Amino acid sequence: MSEDPHALFAAWFAEARAAEPNDPEAMALATAGADGQPSVRMVLLKGHDERGFAFYSNMASRKAEELGATGRAALLFHWKSLRRQVRAEGRVIEVSDAEADAYFATRSRDSRLGAWASDQSRPLESRAVLEARYAETAARYEGGDVPRPPHWSGFRLLPDRIEFWEDGAHRLHHRRLFTRTRQGWDEGLLYP
């Protein structure tokens, strides 16, 4: 029954990109602070390979602070149209500067400007303050490239566990769990 969970994810993700009407790359990212307080939010998958799942953020955001405090996270993809879910848990590391630069360069100019203008997760006095900061940033980089801010980078979740869930009749769902070992991956089934 064993196969590579990253190859299986790639196949399921390709199906989701063809079938899911909105944001097939959306994933719930769960973190916890040093005090154990859990937090979850939706983020977008921006890369996947045999190393894991990559996503990007302001490094002063709550999620980045919590990832720095614990070094661990969990994520969940829910593709309702396919009646499938994928869960992954594991260590989180920061991506390289080269990877962050390469991804940042693919973002729209407006999104790159927004990364400079926003103090993500910090209190905001008013929407007008954010819009003024955005306008100031746009004026500063008018006619030129918008470089990656020093406070903006990415993370990669290195999974220890990946679970593939498929809906089944009468709630007899099919659950496959891959667990990382020193030799690769062990696969087993879970009761629904």
Is 171 designated active site? yes
Q: Which residues pair with 49 in a beta bridge?
A: 52
> Measured over all CA atoms, what is the biggest interatomic distance in the chain, rounded to whole angstroms?
60
Among residues 171, 175, 176, 180, which one is catalytic? 171
Strand positions, DSSP E, the chain: 26-32, 38-44, 47-49, 52-58, 72-79, 84-94, 152-166, 174-181, 184-190
CB 159 within 8 A of CB 53: yes
For 61, residues 6+ apart whose C-beta sits below 8 A from its C-beta are 120, 121
CB 56 within 8 A of CB 100: yes
Angle between helices 109-117 and 127-140 in degrees, nearest 10? 120
| Cα radius of gyration (the chain) | 19
Q: How far apart are CA 52 and CA 91, in angstroms?
A: 10
Catalytic residue numbers?
A: 171
